[in-house]
Structure 1
């Protein structure tokens, strides 16, 4: 009986041959798992535990904190002081307004409009705009914060020098309109990220879709509404998730206003910093951090539920 040497060996049915065994694969995951545990999981549960104590930096409770249950949370949500300036409720409401104005109406909307507009400009102009936008995004926050402070300074600020040269009165914007200053500042910086994300999304749409719309006589707005928006819905959800959480947790406005004047710009992140690292009330500060994590989780769940809906067909 002879066999054909050129015949390939029989293939086993229903079996998958892995390059690495399960034990080897688990060994490769151990370093990453240790890092995540040390820097994410353990601090996460430690913050939750500290939020139920009266731990401070100084005094007896620094070494021997006592378990106080929900006392820190009840203090934060005390109806008698909830809406007063300098309290958690005031900062939470202020942060909500800040997120609505800066993230949703500012960064997302302006970034979307700019991304659509640069699709029609010449390639050289598009590259130049993208370069300036990327530059605004990658600069360190500290550098941008101090640059804006120099721009808005009352005595020697660039903006007031321009107003004076035009015969207009100077304005103390950081004192008179501090909230809108941090809104515009954060929108200017965050819109760059949204524009880059939406620019990539529009570039991924096949050009034939827009060419067919041109043949049908569709206007730019009709192409944007009927082709562009439906096809980048997933990118919009991703952008909203990211910029909402970034804006809710942003700390950079502290460089401009230090949370003032009179707590008018004390966002939740700045309030948390003041309670934990200026007043040294670690237990109360940890409670604020837990509440912030829950709010971020709620934002993510809401946007993800919106993103799961089917994209309308064009």
Structure 2
């Protein structure tokens, strides 16, 4: 009788079967279901909830209709707003702030480094609902901490969630997401041989010169990885909804909030699914661009 080995292909397939089934049920099937629904007029209520009609590319034509594309509250406006949100809060905010915090932590004392990392990581690991309501309380016009500080300094308070809602969600997402970039870059810096920096110190290089000429070229792969991940996360982030609900007047309705409104408030599942497919394609395009940059070989020093 043939013995059953734990190292056999059959054993490996048996161990992978539960995970494969879960991935199929909760990832692959919904993925193709959303694509199919995007070609229908499925809704939550009415006849089309039970028996939707196949409408082809009608949902996509509605999204990219030139007559309404740039109108506030429409897909085009949310797409442009989301691109701005990603550029400011992810690529410039989180990546740059995380890089600077990681570099700063390499030059301070171990005690200060631990305090800095704990404070930054706390903003990342706390539940999103808790963080969202904490920021809402911080920015409240009447009793918010920020306005109380401004009044104490003799400065006029501001209704930040009404007057500057977009910059509020940019600042919020930057503050919350910088921890991941900081941890990734901190690990990358520690992988660089200390002798490189010691030689630079002997040559009289400044901290900026060491970062620009030694650290950044050696961690380019980590930079690309960080940009890929935070771009995907920011493009799909929903937490700003807790602060502004997409308002006022759709001024903070990024694509994730727009999709939620179309699918679960207006009950237009077909159109909402079409938005989801477009978001998936945009994320795929970002990933392909970044991966292409990552595979480029750095120029060797002469």
TM-score normalised over the length of structure 1: 0.93
Contact 2:6–2:12 (Cα < 8 Å) also in 1: no
Q: Distance in 2 between matches of 1:196 and 1:221?
A: 20
Contact 1:86–1:266 (Cα < 8 Å) also in 2: yes
**Cα drift, residue 311 of structure 1:** 3.1
Give the aligned partner of residue 302 of structure 1. Answer: 289
Contact 1:241–1:303 (Cα < 8 Å) also in 2: yes
1:64-103 map, 5 Å: 64-103=51-90
Q: Distance in 1 between matches of 2:21 and 2:300?
A: 45
1:193-272 map, 5 Å: 193-272=180-259
Q: Distance in 1 between matches of 2:92 and 2:300?
A: 26
Give the aligned partner of residue 14 of structure 1. Answer: none
**Cα drift, residue 21 of structure 1:** 2.0
Q: Distance in 2 between matches of 1:202 and 1:275?
A: 44
Question: Which one is further off, 252-261 or 22-31?
Answer: 22-31
Q: Distance in 2 between matches of 1:25 and 1:101?
A: 45
1:231-276: per-residue Cα shift (whole Å, max 9, x none)?
Answer: 1111100100011111111100000000000000000000000000
Give the aligned partner of residue 119 of structure 2. Answer: 132
Q: Distance in 1 between matches of 2:120 and 2:187?
A: 14
* Aligned equivalent of 2:46, options 20, 34, 59: 59
Shift in alpha-carbon separation, 1:227–1:181, aligned structure 2, 3 A: same
Unaligned runs of 5+ in 1: 1-17
**CA RMSD for the aligned pairs?**
1.1
**Cα drift, residue 23 of structure 1:** 2.1
Give the aligned partner of residue 10 of structure 1. Answer: none
Larger Cα-atom Rg: 1
1:53-76: per-residue Cα shift (whole Å, max 9, x none)?
Answer: 000000000010110000000001
Unaligned runs of 5+ in 2: none
Contact 1:178–1:257 (Cα < 8 Å) also in 2: yes
* Aligned equivalent of 1:29, options 16, 20, 30: 16
Contact 1:50–1:286 (Cα < 8 Å) also in 2: yes
* Aligned equivalent of 2:30, options 37, 40, 43: 43
Give the aligned partner of residue 311 of structure 1. Answer: 298
1:107-152: per-residue Cα shift (whole Å, max 9, x none)?
Answer: 1011111111111101111011111111111001110000000000
Say whether 1:162 aligns with 2:149: yes
Contact 1:272–1:285 (Cα < 8 Å) also in 2: yes
Q: Distance in 1 between matches of 2:248 and 2:12?
A: 55
Give the aligned partner of residue 105 of structure 1. Answer: 92
Q: Distance in 2 between matches of 1:24 and 1:117?
A: 49
Q: Secondary structure at the match of 1:54?
A: coil
**Cα drift, residue 202 of structure 1:** 0.6
TM-score normalised over the length of structure 2: 0.96
Q: Secondary structure at the match of 1:191?
A: helix
Count of aligned positions: 297
**Cα drift, residue 24 of structure 1:** 2.1
**Cα drift, residue 36 of structure 1:** 0.7
